Amino acid sequence: MFLKILKLSLRDSLKHPLFTILMMIGVVVSIFSMTTIVAIGDGTKMEIVKVLQGFGFGGDVMMVAAGGGRLFRHRPSNVKTLTLADAEALRQFPFVVDVAPRQGIRRYPIHYMGRSFKTRILGVTPSYLKVGKYAIDMGQALNQRDLRDHLKVCLLGKTVAKELFPKDMAAALGQFIQIGKFFFRVKGILAEKGQLGRFDMDDRILIPLTTCSTLFIRDTYIHAISVKLTDAKNIATYQKLVKAFLRKRHHLLPTQPDDFRVVTSLDVVRIVNQSSRELTRLLVRIMIISLLVSGIIITNVMLAAISERRVEIGIKRALGASRRAILIQFLFEAIWLSLLGSLIGVGAGVLVAYFLRNMIPVSLSLHPLYLAVGFGFLVGTVSGAFPAYRAGQVDPIRAILGGRR
């Protein structure tokens, strides 16, 4: 019986294309918006994790940054709270595999044969490559001799190498480029790490930490320490131990705030979860508004359709159709049209997200499909219940004669 009524509702709704389209429009727009937002939101969350991990906040790496306050913020140039001695002292922990102290200079001018470029200069130790998962594409890596003798050698990121040696990057090896007032020999070229959001991980030059301290920073204080851990399982405990250890080394009183920041993968997860919660709240608001708007549209269109189809309903009732059968038919019409509109909305949203994938981060999953099916069924049931009831209450005699209840 239900299958027969369903086929009847499909056939009858297709006989009235205008009402069918009007009923679906609100649902299509609502689900389209929801699908697009979910795709962009999920893509943004994945991009946040990718970017932060690219900065060294991987599962088995923690970063100790100079200066207290919020975890993720730019470091003022005058912060002097971390030293090489701090970095070396961290090696005493059994869970520390390696440490990589560094200094950084933002957007420093470099020159070669009439070509100029501004890039980030990082003063690092040889362990920075291993901890930061950098590979050498051409040439050689920095070594302890470069560090000990304060040598003017450098490693170029791929972006820098392409800017200064556009025809042949391999020709950079052994050449001297000007960084500020000083000439550095190109010792190697880093393997490409790619673009992380708007941040180019290849737009940098690595030089020995001691050389950077002597020529550019003119101070031995360091800006950050990347700490490679034995595992990520107990990272929260490791973070507490490192914080307590550094507070003691810096002679901080219990009432004084930290003059450093220890950032781990847990902090990354917390930020991503916060973004996820905000996105969820936004989606809930959108879905509530969409539910109300779509429901109102479907209810009003169905009431108008019932008024137009009173004679049809009257004839069916006169031929023996029960009120329950009429109610179920119109309720099925509302549900299947709502479901169809939801699926069309998902398809349109996925298509738009697919075309946007090269411009903004997007992530396609089955979640919008599940939400669409649930949303469509709920909207169709709630908004179609009252019009279906009204259809079932139509008096067949008055309907056929053109009268009104």
Task: State the Cα angle at 55 between 149 and 92, rounded to 5°.
Answer: 60
Sign of CA dihedral 15, 17, 19, 20: positive
Percentage of the chain with pLDDT > 90? Answer: 29
Name the more confident of 379 and 166. 166
Q: Which of 272, 110, 293 is nearest to 184 (CA)?
A: 110
- pLDDT, residue 126, reads 94
pLDDT in tens, 75-93: 555 677 899 999 999 999 9
pLDDT in tens, 374-405: 877 888 888 778 877 777 777 777 767 665 44
pLDDT in tens, 26-44: 778 778 877 787 777 777 7
Instruction: Extract the tokens encoding 116.
Output: 């100029």
3-class state of residue 138 by DSSP = strand
- pLDDT, residue 188, reads 95
pLDDT in tens, 205-247: 999 999 999 999 888 899 999 999 998 888 889 999 999 999 9
Residue 142 to residue 370: CA distance in whole angstroms: 52
What are the two backbone dihedrals, phi and then psi, of residue 287, each rounded to the nearest 5 degrees? -70, -35
DSSP 369-388: HHHHHHHHHHHHHHHHHHHH
Full-model pTM: 0.64
88-114 mean pLDDT:
91
Alpha helices in 122-234, H assignment, sequence order? 127-131, 144-148, 158-164, 209-212
Cβ atoms of 361 and 43 closer than 8 Å? yes
- pLDDT, residue 48, reads 66
Quick one: three-class SS letters along 300-335?
HHHHHHHHHCHHHHHHHHHCCCCHHHHHHHHHHHHH
108-137 mean pLDDT:
91
